[in-house]
């Protein structure tokens, strides 16, 4: 495999070298060409059932963790969540690795994950490393898989095509094996890659259009294709069970339809005894006599809609309930975890 060339930024024809917008700071004679943004709203992947076809698409593994933007400046490093919160203190190892990259200014886009023994991203393990939902712990074992470079060495790269941004990112992270690593592009056709990812127990793949600029929101430039469907649902109560460890037989779930809640069924697998004890204690504090969705059950305890759960499922039944649902963990509301919007 040939070694990647590094001289991109010395190329006078390089498209990201725009004209100076303001006088240069004499303390930083080579910077900035473009002002560095305080925050870039992330580009989000649109869910599709099958991968796209053709040479215009690049593929990566879909990581299951927290989306983060790493802002590197001479004055220090900031780690910003998808929802715009500063979580630098929650990811000290990633912040330390960012300082060692040896770049004056950069914004990396990536996903913080904790890997299991098989090398797969484990969302539950990431949550535990942060002290659980609402926890205040710092995650020392998390790794950032960086997949995009939005700003680099005084250049705003958001208007340049993905292939250029990736080339610069690969050069920046060449050989990196610590708390920041490159999310590698995987070669092959999407259908075969998805089958491989699913057989290895991964969540799925991401497809990105090679010629696309970096556009915030779900534009269709990036697509996600999942092995198993996964979404965020509101916990609206639980079914008590004397037999189940932790006292919870199943969690009652709801999705959103406009301003209303819609019941989507219950989930009784995927949580350990420790999860169940925490969920029961927290839901009991949120107890309400009136359910937010019109359901009845002898052993049901209803809760105010506050806790958001990430649920894996295999599809939908004809009456609008989740099929083969499994609990993955709680989502942080402050990390912009959006409850699924029901159609119709």
Domains of the chain, by residue range, sit at 45-62+184-227, 64-182, 229-335
DSSP-derived secondary structure letter, 216: S
- The neighbour count for residue 274, using CB atoms within 10 Å, is 12
pLDDT 10s digit of each residue in the chain, 344 long? 333 333 223 333 333 333 333 444 445 555 458 899 999 999 999 988 889 999 999 999 999 899 999 999 999 999 999 989 999 999 999 999 999 998 999 999 999 999 988 888 888 889 889 887 667 789 889 999 999 999 999 999 999 999 999 999 999 998 888 999 999 999 889 999 999 988 888 889 999 999 999 999 999 999 999 887 888 999 999 999 888 878 899 999 999 888 889 999 999 999 888 889 999 999 999 999 988 898 888 899 999 999 999 998 877 887 889 988 999 988 876 565 678 777 65
Pairing of strands 155-156, 143-152: antiparallel
Handedness of CA 40, 41, 43, 45 (dihedral sign): positive
Q: What is the reported pTM? A: 0.67
Question: CATH topology for 229-335?
Answer: OB fold (Dihydrolipoamide Acetyltransferase, E2P) (2.40.50)
Cα 97 from chain centre: 20
Dist CA 270 CA 328 (whole Å): 6
Q: Helix or strand or coil: residue 127?
A: helix
Q: Helix or strand or coil: residue 129?
A: helix
Please check whether the domain covering 64-182 is classified as CATH 3.40.50.2300. no
Burial of 283 (0-12, 13-18, 19+ CB in 10 A): buried
Task: From the candidates 3, 48, 62, 280, give the one annotated as an active-site residue.
Answer: 62
What the block records as the tokens of 228 is 């198993």
- DSSP string for 239-301: EE-SSSGGGEEEEEEEEEETTEEEEEEEE-SS--HHHHHHHHHHHHHTB-SS-SS----TTEE
Tell me whether residue 3 is one of the annotated catalytic residues. no
Bridge partners of 110? 68, 146
Which CATH class name applies to 45-62+184-227? Answer: alpha beta
Contacts of 341 (CB under 8 A, 6+ apart): 255, 256, 257
């Amino acid at each position: 495999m040939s070694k990647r060339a590094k001289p991109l930024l010395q190329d006078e024809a390089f498209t990201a070298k725009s004209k100076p917008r303001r006088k240069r700071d004499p303390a930083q004679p080579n910077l900035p060409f473009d002002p560095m943004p305080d925050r870039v709203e992330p580009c989000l992947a649109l869910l599709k059932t099958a991968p796209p076809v053709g040479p215009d698409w690049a593929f990566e593994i879909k990581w299951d963790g927290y989306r983060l933007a790493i802002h590197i400046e001479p004055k220090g490093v900031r780690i910003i969540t998808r929802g715009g919160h500063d979580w630098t203190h929650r990811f000290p190892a990633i912040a330390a690795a960012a300082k060692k990259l040896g770049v004056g200014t950069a914004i990396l886009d990536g996903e913080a994950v904790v890997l299991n023994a098989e090398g797969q991203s484990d969302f539950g393990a990431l949550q535990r490393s942060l002290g659980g939902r609402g926890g205040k712990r710092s995650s020392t074992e998390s790794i950032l898989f960086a997949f995009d470079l939005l700003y680099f060495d005084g250049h705003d790269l958001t208007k340049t095509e993905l292939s250029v941004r990736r080339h610069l990112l690969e050069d920046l992270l060449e050989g990196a094996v610590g708390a920041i690593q490159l999310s590698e592009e995987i070669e092959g056709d999407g259908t075969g890659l998805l089958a491989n990812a699913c057989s290895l127990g991964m969540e799925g793949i991401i497809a990105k259009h090679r010629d696309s600029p970096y556009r915030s929101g779900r534009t269709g430039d990036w697509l996600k294709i999942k092995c198993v469907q996964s979404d965020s649902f509101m916990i609206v109560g639980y079914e008590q069970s004397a037999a189940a460890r932790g006292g919870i037989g199943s969690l009652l779930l709801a999705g959103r339809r406009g301003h209303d809640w819609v019941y989507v069924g219950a989930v009784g697998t995927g949580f350990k005894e420790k999860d169940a004890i925490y969920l029961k204690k927290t839901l009991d504090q949120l107890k309400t006599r009136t359910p937010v969705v019109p359901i009845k059950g002898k052993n049901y305890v209803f809760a105010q809609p506050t806790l958001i759960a990430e649920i894996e499922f295999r599809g939908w039944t004809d009456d609008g309930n989740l099929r083969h649902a499994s609990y993955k963990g709680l989502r942080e509301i402050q990390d912009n975890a959006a409850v699924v919007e029901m159609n119709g």
